[in-house]
A and B are shown apart, each in its own frame.
Chain A
Amino acid sequence: MIEIKQLTKKYGDFTAVDHLDLTIKTGEFFGLLGPNGAGKTTTISMLSTVLLPTSGEILIDGNKLDRKASAEKRKFSVITQEYSMRQDMTMDEVMEYQGRLYYMKKKEIREKSDELLAFTGLIDYRHRVVRHLSGGMKRKLMICRALMTDPEILLLDEPTAGMDAISRRQMWNLLRQLHSRNITILLTTHYIDEAQSLCDRVALIDHGKLDTVDAPQTLIDHLGAFAVDITTEERLVSKYFATKRDAIDYLSGSDEDMTMRNTTLEDVFVERIGRRIDQK
């Protein structure tokens, strides 16, 4: 279990994360959503101890996480937004270095590396240097590296950023498989459909502050399970209804250009976060 208590990160006068409280249960697939600059990556960086919080703390299974906490760090792997790897290493070397940093035996490193590189279709490129890989291949290699050590907790910062639609779907399937193995997953993403499809619960954050946290469907139901989009010349306006009947009644009572659909998590995001940005 990950417990984030009153976590705050300040850079001078700017507060990137502001007294954030979250609890992520063991085996849960948890999404951290927010607009650009909301504090998602800063939160992940504090979880990976690259950044230290200004105040507050993080507990992993009840134990405080800091840079000395080797036993807690052993439990998780991180896939960062950037390709944080030695660019002059080959894929094999990246995997071996990871294994060595986690005290794996040479035979174990070899076997696990073979298995993961084969699974992600990278095995034929294993001697290729990282700087000569495409973005998608680098992303896959980061996943292989993260899974190399059989983590209990996986921190994913925008794992599908820059991927094409097919690769994204492959990644979703991979994440589902990992989730089925009871791995706790914390995901940050810009793709709200991704979070809706994968996550058990999501937290919306804005300006480093927690806006709300709940299951995607609960948030959708709270807004209204059915949406009617009204298209005007200037903008698209959506109205939300608890039942299909209410939505149809609204549609039939107007002659504007309108369409009805199911409400999505993106609607929740836009309503809760987007409206605030609009007001500002």
Chain B
Amino acid sequence: MGVLAVLWEKWREFRRDFYKITLAAVITPLMYLIVFGLGIQTTSHGEPYLNFLIPGIVALSTMTGSFGAVAQNMSVQRLYEKALDQVMVSPTPLWQFILGQVIGGSLRGMYAGCMILLITFPVRTGLIFNGASFFIMFLNGAVFSTLALVLSFLAKSYTDAPRFTAYIITPMSFLCNTFFSTESMPAGIRQFIAALPLSQTSGMIRSISAGEYYSGFGYLILFAYLAAFSLISVLFIYKKKNL
């Protein structure tokens, strides 16, 4: 299976850069936790703010972890190293290459999210993280891995990857139900933000962690994004004239 070849390549990269990847995954979220969670002591909906923040940071970490792993890697492979040529010319079906990238990216996102859970474990918050939480983390990682693939195919130079992060990932990090509830936002903006994948991921993980009911509508939105971005990635890799 070509998927396994891609996953092997991702595993090799993870093993080699283990410390760098781990540090990169935890430093920024850790700062958010320290500054907003411990430094500015406050409450949200009658609960310690940290309880609101941790699920958001977990969702955020899965997004940045998976997006970064795929966007950086693919942009460099396609535009700088030209190593994507090795895959293009091989008999490995290209949809398997896409699938391998998505699974590999999602696992990297999961790893980043799990690191946050590990770090915050000593803080006895009473938050619940179960199988559904991990599935949502994986799904969120898959959405942002496919988005990273789409943007990597659109990139004209390998320096575009950080720009995409600045234009898309950073605004989502702050706006999408991560640091504050969007309930008080003006109508229109609130609906727009709610339709973004990170908002749904944060919301669902937060509801699960508080033991509250959540609607399955969030899954639908995440699957819709995943289907759309996957389709575009596959179309690009098969049909784009100049890869």
Contact = CB atoms under 8 A, between A and B. Distances in A.
B134 interface: no
Interface string A67-89: 11011011011101011111111
A112 B83 CA distance: 21
A54 B12 CA distance: 37
Interface stretch (B23-31, B87-95, B218-226): B87-95
Contacts of B86: 84-85, 97-98, 101, 145
Interface stretch (A44-52, A167-175, A185-193): A44-52
Secondary structure at chain B's binding surface: helix, strand, loop or mixed? Answer: helix
B242 interface: yes
B2 to A, nearest CB: 7
B87 A84 contact: no
B91 A70 contact: yes
B34 interface: no
Contact of A50 (B9, B13, B16, B243): B243
Contacts of B81: 84-87
Interface string B110-142: 000000000000000000000000000000000
Contacts, number: 84
Q: Which of B77, B91, B94 has the most CB of A within 10 A?
A: B91
Interface range on chain A: under 10, 10 to 19, 20 to 34, or 35 or more? 20 to 34
Given A93-B12, A97-B5, A100-B5, A54 B89 contact: no
Interface stretch (B157-165, B208-216, B233-241): B233-241
Nearest to A89: B12
B127 to A, nearest CB: 38
B8 A97 contact: yes
Given A73-B89, A82-B82, A51 B243 contact: yes
A119 B121 CA distance: 54
A103 interface: yes
Interface of B: 2, 4-5, 8-9, 12-13, 16, 77, 81-94, 237-243
Given A49-B89, A83-B82, A103-B2, 10 more contacts: A50-B85, A51-B242, A52-B242, A68-B94, A70-B91, A71-B91, A82-B82, A98-B90, A101-B5, A101-B90
Interface of A: 11, 48-52, 54, 67-68, 70-71, 73-74, 76-78, 80, 82-89, 93, 96-98, 100-103, 145
